[in-house]
Amino acid sequence: MVKLEVEVGGLRLRNPVMLASGIIGVTGRLMVRAAEAGAGAVVTKSVGPERRMGYGNPTIVEVSPGSYLNCMGLPNPGIDEFVEEIKIAKTGGVPVIVSVFGRSPEEFAMVAEKAENAGAEAVELNVSCPHTEVGILERSQRIVGQVVKAVKKKVGVPVFVKLSSNVTNIVEVGKVVEDAGADAVTAINTVRAMAIDVETCRPILSNKFGGLSGVAIKPIAVRCVYELYEALKIPVIGVGGIFSWEDAVEHILAGASAIQVATALTKGFNVFKELVDGIKSYLEKKGFKDVGEVVGAAHK
């Protein structure tokens, strides 16, 4: 029997395939569906201190097969209202990780504390939205460290930090976050990008810029996971372009202790079972007993 259970930054998962923050984690019921479909954990859509409408349409466009550009603009009901969705999500029986954002370290800490009180088993700090004015990372790496420290002071659950490839050196940011006390890093958020309509001669997205996800970003994500695994002591969670079990295994070989999927859900909830079964068959075929044995194997 192959062991698929993993432990990531103090959080135990029945398997390493998590729902990434994004479109599905907006309601408790949808997160329960992801859990029922086989996810090892679910991450909510990012939630902030108060209700936010997000940007006007168009906010999403498929730019090439399996690759999407979005500028949702952090739409969310605010943490106080979202508490109910966290409680519903928990009935799915897998860890619920609440993705948190704020405009300051204090706001991050306040939202994270409310998420923990609502039952979150971990929080994932979104310091890396590539196209909103609250993208902390775009302001300064120093603030990112302050955000992590402020949250660690307020919560007892594991704190993950979602990083971006939209920086010169992702390892530098990873080290800041690790030194500040983060329990794991998630790599990567979407890649800042743009698309222009040749008929109207205008940017397609209402916000002009957006975040690229899906097939196109997998090699960028794998590179970031590889670099972070080499440089950090805390675990890395891989996300970016994972559609098939081969994509998931590639992230794991690069150094991911667990992986997340979002864009692949455009193909349906079956993706969780397909990935879990595919990883399991791969490990059996290769003669491994535990998924942990192949984490970072590409470095050897």
Using the minimum distance from each CB to ligand RRO, give the nearer residue, 48 or 296. 48
- Interface with ligand RRO, residue 70, by CB under 6 A: yes
Using the minimum distance from each CB to ligand RRO, give the nearer residue, 71 or 109. 71
Strand partners of residue 209? 194
- Interface with ligand RRO, residue 71, by CB under 6 A: yes
Choose one: 66-74, 177-185, 240-248, 270-278; the region binding ligand RRO (CB under 6 A): 66-74
Task: Say how many residues touch ligand RRO, by CB under 6 A.
Answer: 11
Using the minimum distance from each CB to ligand RRO, give the nearer residue, 17 or 71. 71
At closest approach, how far in Å is the CB of 129 from ligand RRO?
4
d(CA 104, CA 260): 26
Distance of CA 267 to the CA centre of its chain: 18
What is the Cα gyration radius of the chain?
A: 18
Binding mask 233-272 for ligand RRO (x = CB under 6 A): ----------------------------------------
Residue nearest to ligand RRO (CB): 211
- Interface with ligand RRO, residue 190, by CB under 6 A: yes
Restricted to residues 199-218, the positions that interact with ligand RRO (CB under 6 A) are 211
Using the minimum distance from each CB to ligand RRO, give the nearer residue, 10 or 54. 54
Restricted to residues 270-299, the positions that interact with ligand RRO (CB under 6 A) are none
Q: Is 192 helix (H, G, I), strand (E, B) or coil?
A: strand
At closest approach, how far in Å is the CB of 201 from ligand RRO?
24
d(CA 183, CA 63): 35
Residue 145 CA: distances (Å) to CA of 136, 161, 200, 260, 267: 10, 10, 43, 24, 37
CB neighbour list of residue 96: distance below 8 Å, 6 or more residues apart: 31, 41, 42, 44, 86, 89, 90, 119, 120, 121
Using the minimum distance from each CB to ligand RRO, give the nearer residue, 102 or 105. 102
Q: Is 5 helix (H, G, I), strand (E, B) or coil?
A: coil
Restricted to residues 25-54, the positions that interact with ligand RRO (CB under 6 A) are 46
Residue 58 CA: distances (Å) to CA of 9, 175, 264: 37, 36, 21
d(CA 98, CA 69): 23
- Interface with ligand RRO, residue 129, by CB under 6 A: yes
Q: Of 72, 111, 193, 295, which lies in the binding site for ligand RRO, with binding defined by CB under 6 A?
A: 72
Strand partners of residue 67? 64, 214
Distance of CA 95 to the CA centre of its chain: 14
Q: Of 8, 11, 37, 74, which lies in the binding site for ligand RRO, with binding defined by CB under 6 A?
A: 74
At closest approach, how far in Å is the CB of 262 from ligand RRO?
9
At closest approach, how far in Å is the CB of 99 from ligand RRO?
8
Active site residue 129: yes
Per 3-state DSSP, what percentage of the chain is helix, strand, and coil (rounded to 5)? 40, 25, 35
d(CA 287, CA 154): 43
- Interface with ligand RRO, residue 186, by CB under 6 A: no
Residues making contact with ligand RRO (CB under 6 A): 46, 70-74, 126, 129, 189-190, 211
Q: Which residues are catalytic?
A: 129
